[in-house]
Amino acid sequence: QLQASGGGLVQAGASLRLSCAASGRTFSNYVMGWFRQAPGKEREFVAAISWSGGNTYNVDSVKGRFTISRDHAKNTVYLQMNSLKPEDTAVYYCAASPIVAGVSGSYDYWGQGTQVTVSS
């Protein structure tokens, strides 16, 4: 029901835009979030956006570089990632939650993940 895409291999300093398209149901009333998981590490919260799109939340390590947004008409959430760093390398997952939360346990629906690799 959530399909993440847009990952790839880029050099440090480059940009990528991830997309998370919903199908089968609408997530307009859900908080949408992005998480990432690097090899050997736990899944980490990256960003979230309220159902209205009026409030966004980011982990400190991506503030000023990543921007989350949503398009209700397209039932899609985006993560614009600028000034990418090698430490941003991870599999990125989108997810939907009924509440604003930065913990994965609060998210009920998950996409399959898209790989982002940033070379130095």
Q: Report how far residue 13's alpha carbon sits from residue 86's, in angstroms, rounded to the nearest whole number.
A: 9
Q: What is the mean pLDDT of the chain?
A: 95
- Look at residue 100 in the predicted model and tell me its pLDDT: 86
pLDDT at 88 exceeding the cut of 90? yes
Q: Name the residue with higher pLDDT: 59 or 25.
A: 59
State the pLDDT confidence band at 114, using cuts at 50, 70 and 90. Answer: very high
Question: For the sheet containing 16-22, what is the strand order?
Answer: 2-5, 16-22, 76-81, 66-71
- Look at residue 28 in the predicted model and tell me its pLDDT: 86
- Look at residue 82 in the predicted model and tell me its pLDDT: 98
pLDDT at 35 exceeding the cut of 90? yes
